[in-house]
Structure 1
Amino acid sequence: MSKTYTDSCLEGYLHEQLPHATMVELEQALRSSTELRDRLAEIITRHDLGSHTIGSLWRQERLSCPERTELQNYLLGILDEDVEDWVRFHVETLGCRYCAASLEDLQSTAARDAKESETRRQRYFETSVGRLSQSK
Structure 2
Amino acid sequence: MSNFTWTDRELIAWLDELLPVERMTQFEEQMRSDETLQSRLSQLIHHRDQGGHSVGEIWQRAGLSCPSRSELSGYLLQTMPEEAAGYIEFHLKTIGCRVCQANLKDLEDHAQQTEAAPGRRRRFFESSAGLLQDSADSDEF
Superposition TM-score, scaled by structure 2 size: 0.83
2: CA distance between counterparts of 1:32 and 1:13?
A: 17
* Partner of residue 70, structure 2: 69
1:45 matches 2:52: no
Q: Secondary structure at the match of 2:46?
A: helix
The aligned amino acid for 1:51 is G
* Partner of residue 85, structure 2: 84
For each residue in 1:14-51, what CA deviation from the matched residue of structure 2 results, as whole angstroms up to 9, or x when unmatched? 01011111111101111111000000000000000000
Q: Secondary structure at the match of 1:17?
A: coil
1: CA distance between counterparts of 2:42 and 2:17?
A: 16
The aligned amino acid for 2:51 is G
Stretches of structure 2 that go unaligned for 5 or more consecutive residues are 130-141
2: CA distance between counterparts of 1:94 and 1:117?
A: 37
**How far apart are residue 117 of structure 1 and its match?**
2.4
2: CA distance between counterparts of 1:40 and 1:123?
A: 56
* Partner of residue 106, structure 1: 107
Q: Which has the larger radius of gyration?
A: 2
For each residue in 1:74-132, what CA deviation from the matched residue of structure 2 results, as whole angstroms up to 9, or x when unmatched? 000011001001111101111101100000000000000110024446788xx9xxxxx
Q: Percent identity?
A: 37
Structure 1 vs Structure 2 CA RMSD:
1.8
Superposition TM-score, scaled by structure 1 size: 0.86
The aligned amino acid for 1:109 is H
